[in-house]
Amino acid sequence: MLVYIDGQFYDEKDAKVSVFDHGLLYGDGVFEGVRAYNGRVFKLSEHIKRLYDSAKAIMLKVLISESEMIESVLEALRKNNLKDGYIRILITRGEGSLGIDPITCARSSVIIIADSLNLYPEEFYETGLAIISASVRRNSPDVVNPKIKSLNYINNIMAKIEARQAGVLEAIMLDRNGYVCECTGDNIFIVKNGVIKTPPVYLGVLKGITRDFVIEIARDLGYIFQEEIMTQYDIYTADECFLTGTAAEAIPVVMADSREISNGNVGEVTKSIIKEFRLRVAQEGWEI
Ligand code: PXG
């Protein structure tokens, strides 16, 4: 596998960063995860826009333009002969001295890793996931705004550990008032009385590109959609539940905190969204 670092491609064993990179020392940087399906990169410009917005929010100057970034992502896929895959883009503050102050970091770094992806096992797309709610809360928008895809995912990682300890693969993260935000790497949706709902972004949720895409699909399929504040009660008593993310795509949830959602089977609305999702991702996107 060849990895892009600051304009050059390196064999994966030689693709290394300095131990003085503030991305490593402080989680000082931002990232994106992007997917390629069937020789096309899905929603590439949306991901790049969000990446540069994340960088702007933390005052991180990216040394290449958005169009150079797009071309480098496509090049990384070509160099690795990938038609389907997952692309991780990182921008780190770069090498500096020990000490928080980013002024010591002369140049930010761009890293692009194009690889294949371990999805959730395929069976869960058929039978649905069980999830728990984590005790660790999602970052508040007045602290590290979840809209920023920062390299610091400690809260989410701790929530993931709780999920693993409970024997499941994902965890719901609540905000500081106990409202449902999202999962550790996915947005959450419910279906109740025919209406598709997801928590509003202002609560402190990543504005997922898959979330936006699923909202578009839901409307095109004629469903009523609304953003709505929700609690664990609303998840437990929902008719259906599913998660969305670049890595997860759209995946059903059938159990939350040991309560079966509805009768514990994957719902019809969820099935229709997943079906349409798969149809569309294979057709649209930037050609590699
Ligand atoms: N919420 C959070 C907190 C995320 O990190 C999503 C929602 C979904 O957003 P998109 O734009 O992808 O629809 C994400 C992104 C992983 C992994 O290993 C997942 C993400 C990021 C990094 C790693 O599962 N998901």
- Do 45 and 131 have their domain in common? no
Q: Which atom of ligand 1 is nearest to the CA of 210?
A: 13
**Number of Cβ within a 10 Å radius of residue 192:** 15
Does residue 230 fall inside a structural domain?
A: yes
Does residue 286 fall inside a structural domain?
A: no
User: CATH number, domain at 30?
Assistant: 3.30.470.10
Does residue 287 fall inside a structural domain?
A: no
How many domains would you assign to the chain? 2
**Domain boundary residue, one of 62, 83, 115:** 115
- Do 64 and 147 have their domain in common? no
**Number of Cβ within a 10 Å radius of residue 116:** 11
Per-residue pLDDT of the chain (288 residues; tens, 9 = 90+): 999 999 999 999 999 999 999 999 999 999 999 999 999 999 999 999 999 999 999 999 999 999 999 999 999 999 999 999 999 999 999 999 999 999 999 999 999 999 988 778 889 999 999 999 999 999 999 999 999 999 999 999 999 999 999 999 999 999 999 999 999 999 999 999 999 999 999 999 999 999 999 999 999 999 999 999 999 999 999 999 999 999 999 999 999 999 999 999 999 999 999 999 999 999 999 999
Give 64 Cα–ligand 1 centroid separation in angstroms: 24
Domain that holds residue 158: 123-281
**Domain boundary residue, one of 115, 139, 172:** 115
User: CATH number, domain at 128?
Assistant: 3.20.10.10
Rounded to 10 degrees, the C-alpha dihedral 118/144/46/42 comes to: 10
Catalytic residue IDs = 149
Residue linked to tokens 């064999």: 11
- Do 130 and 199 have their domain in common? yes
Q: Which atom of ligand 1 is nearest to the CA of 138?
A: 3
Ligand 1 site: residues with CB under 6 angstroms?
33, 156, 182, 185-187, 206, 208-211, 244-247
- Do 69 and 173 have their domain in common? no
Closest-CA residue, ligand 1 atom 8, reads 245
Closest-CA residue, ligand 1 atom 15, reads 185
